[in-house]
Amino acid sequence: MYNKTIKELSLLLKNKKISVIELTKIFLDRIKASNLNAFIHVDEELTLMQANIAEKKIISGNNLTQLTGIPIAHKDIFVTRHWKTTAGSKMLANYISPFNADIVERLKKAGTVMLGKLNCDEFAMGSSNENSYFGPVKNPWDYSAVPGGSSGGSAAAVAARLVPATTASDTGGSIRQPAALCGVTGIKPTYGSISRYGMIAFASSLDQAGPIAKTAEDCALLLNVMIGFDKRDSTSLQRKNEDFSYGLKKNTKGIKGLRIGMPREFFNVNLDTDVQHGIYSALKEFEKLGAKLVDISMPKTNLSIPVYYVIAPAEAASNLSRFDGVRYGYRSKNYKNLVDMYKKSRTEGFGEEVKRRILIGSHVLSRDFYNIYYLQAQRIRRLISEDFQKIFTGPNSCDVIMGPVSPTVAWNIGNKRDPIVNYLSDIFTLSTSLAGLPGMSIPCGFSVNKPIGLQIIGNYFKEAQLLYIAHQYQNITDWHLKKPKL
């Protein structure tokens, strides 16, 4: 049962081949037996209460969706009633929200059953899941390796078959990169498509929620529920209703004539030989399906790292100022006055990477450096967005862009202690986030038993196209069906 897709499980539940409670207990037992450190908070009683409600819906046959009775788990960056929401930080280690995040509520109404909250880098700041106050998550393919970050718990849990699907968030690649390193499928939709209401903010102009699952088809089913306008989020987009799973049906026309852009800057860097081979092999499969490969240039790719690590820390410094030890969160036990309480609460409550980014952000926003760093970074961000539009709408336009997600496969825990070295692992994902474009990662090979991910980037609101392309690839390959030996 734990190897089946959401689509397969939904049919079994609907036909009463298995009950919601039986299915839920299968996954709860797997979580108990796991030592990946993927989950921060599990409450079997709360989970089985939701399973009972879903079971009654299926028995009655009323208001059923394809997600009714499907167990899922949420990245611990989305607030949840009755469950702890820690953001992977000591600052919020015991926090329980009085309300649900928008996507938590949407998925709950669709009938999903929540298995628990998933480990992540503290406040979603990191590329390896080593920055969590609750310890690093292990990669199920190699317990000595990282699962990627910040949504490492989400990707590892799906890869290890602890849960059929999870929510995740992507600020600079935090859905795509862990999905790639764990051999699962993940998609970041167009910025503003999924409400940020109830998502603990890291960088507000970049944060975007999305799903991680085994297949593109499962991601489509989740996006059908997750995407929608929310008046409580000022960045929420009003989009027409779209069935993302409709175009994945077998009787569709295929991808003959699809123009795939291959940015030479994505391949002219220090790519691992096996990663490069895996990406080229995947691109050859698309050629066999009738697609055309087009050589393109994205000359500002190398600028995405400095631009991101100016803008994101600046927004983080602003967003995290609310954690002061006064209203909620960790408060130091020993302080002399109010200012001393602020200092000690933040010093003791935040981890090293979070403090580093707050300091960087405060520096670039200061009066003497605002114009030099922050304003200049925003200008270059606009140029990066324009580069994408030239590719998607110019005279020699491409339908999608493809390339690697990460320069390497998963590295060993502790191998990239230097934060600058860690930041460089995001070089292929940051520009997509800065432009607010949709992007996804799908498994396309292995290097020494570690998964390789293929990145697919599309123009605004082209999630359905990305999912369709990914689905066509997954119809002729079986990389997405591979599972680690636990």
| Residues with active-site annotation | 75, 150, 174
Query: Tell me, what amino acid is at 481?
Result: L
Contact partners, residue 141, CB within 8 Å, separation at least 6: 159, 182, 183, 410, 449, 450, 451, 484
| The pairing of beta strand 439-447 with beta strand 292-296 | unpaired
Nearest to 133 by CA among 147, 122, 148, 146: 122
Which residue has tokens 């392309």? Answer: 469
Please report, to the nearest 10 degrees, the dihedral formed by the alpha carbons of residues 448, 450, 456, 461 taken in order: 180
d(CA 408, CA 281) in angstroms, rounded, equals: 16
Angular region, 331: left φ>0, alpha ψ -120 to 50, beta rest: beta
Element (H, E) at 342: helix 338-349
- Residue 166 backbone phi and psi in degrees, to 5: -140, 160
Residue 114's SS3 state is strand
Nearest to 153 by CA among 212, 94, 106: 212
Q: Which residues of 180-194 are buried (b: 16+ CB within 10 A; e: fewer)?
A: bbbbbbbbbbbbbbb
Question: Exposed, middle or buried: residue 68 (CB in 10 Å: 0-12, 13-18, 19+)?
Answer: buried
Q: What DSSP letter does each residue of 241-253 carry, written as one string?
A: ---TTGGGSTTS-
Token pair listed for 432: 């997509």
